[in-house]
Amino acid sequence: MSIGEVLAHLRVDFPDTTISKLRFLESEGLVQPQRTPAGYRKYSWEDVARLRYILTAQRDHYLPLRVIRDQLAALDTGAPAADAASPGTVERSEGRGGDGSRLRPALVAVGPTQLPEPPTDLADVVLRRDELLTRAGLTEETLAALEQYGLVGERPGGGYDADALEVATVAAQLAEYGLEARHLRAYRAAADREIGLFTQLVAPLARQSNPAARARAAETVRELTACTERLRAALVRGGLRQTLGR
């Protein structure tokens, strides 16, 4: 997996994780992803499990990196480590049930010869309309409204991709707070402005026939979107601080 794909996996349970954080942990020697000939990071499932161990130890046990490093070294030699979940355990989200409710994540053991099956490549996900409704927990009326306001749309060849599922799922969650599709139009407009801005940055790379340049363009897009997500969240938190009395 690329660093952007790893970030997407980790942010389900560790939403404050950033690419800079992953690079820092690598610079500290806590995780060592492989490198492609072009110099891009490639993470294994063992690397993801190790990162989950580190992030859990920091978040739930407030352990400093020095202690975490010692625990990982002990685990690498087969000795037990205390106060944190084993890095040989990966939490995999199982999505939603047929009634639209979230299913509890399953813990899957990871070892040298036992790896969890990797998820389907997000670029290859194609869902029928009924599948999208079930997995996102949407009603037909809400999906039609999302399509009306340009928030969700079918792929050129038909069906809905992983991004459409993500938008639909978030829209279903926001609907629980009383926010309807019409309230989300501003996000569509803001996304279009970002698309125009980022296109200027990545289009020169994407147009090159060099695979390394195209890979760099894809990673740049992931990094840019991660940065703007952090910026947007910080601005909203800051704007609501007075409302929250903080």
Q: Which of 174-188, 212-226, 229-243 reaches the highest mean pLDDT? A: 174-188
Greatest alpha-carbon span in the chain: 57
* CA gap 69, 81 in Å, rounded: 11
pLDDT surpasses 70 at 182: yes
Strands (DSSP E) along the chain, which ranges?
A: 34-35, 41-42, 89-92, 106-109
* Domain 120-179 in the same topology as domain 3-109: yes
pLDDT given at position 242: 81
The per-residue pLDDT for range 68-107, each reduced to its tens digit, is 988 998 888 876 655 444 444 444 433 434 344 333 333 3
pLDDT surpasses 50 at 195: yes
Q: What is the CATH number of domain 120-179?
A: 1.10.1660
Domain-wise residue ranges, the chain: 3-109, 120-179, 184-246
pLDDT surpasses 80 at 187: yes
Q: What is the CATH number of domain 3-109?
A: 1.10.1660.10
For residue 155, give both structure tokens. Answer: 């792929």
The per-residue pLDDT for range 98-146, each reduced to its tens digit, is 344 333 333 333 333 333 333 344 455 789 999 999 988 889 999 999 9
**Which residues does 131 contact at the CB level (< 8 Å), separation at least 6?**
160
* CA gap 66, 125 in Å, rounded: 41
In this prediction the pTM is 0.51
